[in-house]
Structure 1
Amino acid sequence: MTTQAPRGVHLTGSTPFATASEHFHRVGAVLPHHLKSIPDGETGPQGNWIGCQYPIFARFPKLLSSGVWVFPPREDINDLVPLKGIPAMVRDIAVNYDVWALQSYSEFRKLRDEGVISKNVKFQVCLPTPLSVMIFYIHTPYRTTVEPLYENALMKALRNIQDNIPHEDLVIQWDVVQEMSLLEDVPRMENAYGLGKESESWFEPIDDGVIERLVRVMGHVDKDVDMGMHICYGDFMHKHFIQPPSTEKAAFVVSSLLKKLDRKLDYFQFPVAKARDDEAYYDRMKSILPLIHEKGTYIYVGLVHPNDEEGTKRKLAAAQKALGDSGWGVAAECGIGREPLEGAMNVMETSKAISQPWSA
């Protein structure tokens, strides 16, 4: 029996190019027919994922967390800011994702009109979840108060994006990262990110709280706008905060959302660690394939690693045995913006080589 190559390639967010224009040109040349959507490369101020959100909270140092590697230990840990004063203090938040998206979309549309980008490719806007920003930046006692303020600001930016980009051109992707550290019960400070269950006091039960928050923010995406999800275990210094032991937690998130959302989840992407080239890794994801296919959700398997063609082939073979011949495409584990140029180009070229195009 002949095994078909997976169809399509997905870029989860960042690339190492200097500008959105360079990104669109490079990606358009390498992957002209393999993409359904293309992000703007997260260039400029977006170059370090949610690092672009640090200036929002840098004005309020007493709110900042000490549980993440970015910040030094807190010396004033017991000198708490009165919670009732926070809404007045943290107001007029400008997350700027709408500003960056509209600027990039203008360039995207121009280059698509010129044929640099294929005419059927959509513009992909990648957004963090409020939960990820809270865990990364906000000291635990303040998260319950700050979270709705930040979420409201992010939803305003999302509304502005949807009001100013034609819906037939737009894809909204949610980057689901710190949710996975909570679901995997990562021991605090035993990983490069300093993440883990120290956040239990913020909300309980963890599983329900994670899904409730995802359903809430995803509900703000208009139903005629394509929506996807990037499930991520981090990429700081090319390391996960934990190597995903299986697809159990990713499958939990996907199946929960497919059951609870009142709109379509058009696609999701999940990572495959470099060492995992075994079919067993996919067992839990395989068990929910009937639900995924019923809901019409496409899968992108993050099995492509830079400069590792033989390892990629082994992972591809395992994925094909587990997931079958249809309903999925390929991706890198994460964004490739932290890769040197040669590594990023290798990821795109390898992805193209092992997959079928969407169109000729």
Structure 2
Amino acid sequence: MPPSLPSVSGVLLIGSVPLPSTSEVFNKLTSTLPQRLASLPDGEPGSRQDFILWERSRFPPETLKYTNGGINLPDGHSGVFTQDDVSPTDYGAAAVESWRFFCEYRERGVIPTGVRFQVSLPLPWAVIAGHVRPEFHAMMEPLYTRRMEDAVRIILDNIPAGDLAIQLDLAREMLALEYERGRLGEEFRPHFAGVEGILEGVLHRIQRFASLIPEDVDLGLHFCYGDRDHRHYVEPEDLGVAVGFANANRERLRRRIAWMHLPVPKDRADKGYFEPLRKLILGVGTLAETKLYLGLVHANDEEGTRRRIEAALSTVRGFGVATECGLGRTPTNELDSILSISREVSAPV
């Protein structure tokens, strides 16, 4: 690694990778990112490639957004739904299946000992907000939350804690905070805004979900601005909202957080964007310090990536690198560029 980048080590893969199978993901990532990975996702292949889209069928069609294939309540329907109306999620089964591949590849020496198996999960509320009509959010949330909690238990029952990392994908939550700042429309207003307040409501939900995860499991937090047609729903003004949210989670969770990931748009190599990092809290008391990853790697832009790294290093002493978000919808021909740049600008962990 060039001597000009002494404080940059390690690479984080957010979750999805544009390859057709878990086997190809494991082979590709371990061969192109040697000694760079503390955890390894399965790439979320097949129906899981498009983030939460695969969860749409869990909900009654009468509750779905009309743009998602929703239908009206039939005549005489009470409008009340119960636990049986929300199908079990397959997040748990998918993780267990990929874990078996992970063990096989580790035994063969493809995956180094010490690298954890990474599972990325959204909060239940985020899935509901993405798929369900607003008038059903409050009703669906406890029902779907139970399904997601069941999935977490399946994961924990089948994968040893010391081999596991769970990342919480916090995109809808970031957008809710930007809604509160007046930067997004009513589509992003949480149903709990008037009862709990947006920040408190979001933190409460993260705390509840994180409380299921034992301390021996690495917990990561991925702060994201989401995208629609490869564009953010709203562009971050700087890292201020993300840093404030990260610090609020640090204070609320009171547990070891293995990593936090913050996004960096391609056109932000200015020091002002990174200035809020001076206030980021990565260590508290006796808890192990949290690893920071910055999502500043962009395809076919190694020079720009280095400029963004240089700007970031003016405000924080060190970090790992990543892309802004998962790669599931990234054109396959850009993957090699992203992996190559990630390797070239980082040192081994």
TM-score, scaled relative to structure 2: 0.91
8 Å contact 1:278–1:315 — kept in the other structure? yes
CA pair 201-287 structure 1, distance change in 2 beyond 3 A:
closer
Q: Which residue of 2 aligns with 1:131?
A: 125
CA pair 24-202 structure 1, distance change in 2 beyond 3 A:
farther
8 Å contact 1:337–1:344 — kept in the other structure? no
Q: How many equivalent residue pairs?
A: 343
1:100: how far off? 0.5
Q: Which residue of 1 aligns with 2:45?
A: 43
CA distance in 2, matches of 1:80, 1:299: 53
Residue identity over aligned pairs, in percent, reads 33
Per the alignment, in what secondary structure is the counterpart of residue 299 of structure 1? Answer: strand
8 Å contact 2:39–2:115 — kept in the other structure? yes
CA pair 104-202 structure 1, distance change in 2 beyond 3 A:
farther
1:89: how far off? 5.0
CA pair 317-41 structure 1, distance change in 2 beyond 3 A:
same
Per the alignment, in what secondary structure is the counterpart of residue 229 of structure 1? Answer: strand
Q: How does 1:215-254 map to 2 (within 5 A)?
A: 215-254=207-246
1:65: how far off? 2.4
CA pair 229-88 structure 1, distance change in 2 beyond 3 A:
closer
Q: Which residue of 1 aligns with 2:203?
A: 211
8 Å contact 1:5–1:354 — kept in the other structure? no
Matched, 1:65 2:50: no
Matched, 1:184 2:178: yes
Q: Which residue of 2 aligns with 1:300?
A: 293
Structure 2 residue identity aligned to 1:86: F
CA pair 282-224 structure 1, distance change in 2 beyond 3 A:
same
CA pair 2-221 structure 1, distance change in 2 beyond 3 A:
same
1:87: how far off? 1.4
Structure 1: give runs of 5+ residues left out of the alignment.
190-194
Per the alignment, in what secondary structure is the counterpart of residue 8 of structure 1? Answer: strand
CA distance in 1, matches of 2:19, 2:46: 9
8 Å contact 2:63–2:71 — kept in the other structure? no
1:262: how far off? 3.3
Q: Which residue of 2 aligns with 1:256?
A: 248
Per the alignment, in what secondary structure is the counterpart of residue 322 of structure 1? Answer: coil
Find runs of 4+ consecutive structure 1 residues off by over 3 angstroms. 74-83, 198-204, 289-295
8 Å contact 1:62–1:80 — kept in the other structure? no
1:200: how far off? 6.2
Q: How does 1:280-299 map to 2 (within 5 A)?
A: 280-289=272-281, 291=283, 295=287, 296-299=289-292
CA distance in 1, matches of 2:191, 2:250: 26
Structure 1 residue identity aligned to 2:123: T
The Cα RMSD (Å) is 2.4
8 Å contact 1:303–1:330 — kept in the other structure? yes
Q: How does 1:1-360 map to 2 (within 5 A)?
A: 4-57=6-59, 60-66=60-66, 70-71=67-68, 76=72, 82=78, 85-87=80-82, 89-91=84-86, 93-185=87-179, 186-188=183-185, 195-197=187-189, 199=191, 203-289=195-281, 291=283, 295=287, 296-324=289-317, 326=318, 328-358=319-349
CA distance in 1, matches of 2:73, 2:278: 45
1:188: how far off? 2.5
- Deviation track 1:266-297 (CA, whole Å, cap 9, x = no partner) reads 11111101111111112223212465697511
CA distance in 1, matches of 2:101, 2:157: 18
8 Å contact 1:62–1:81 — kept in the other structure? no
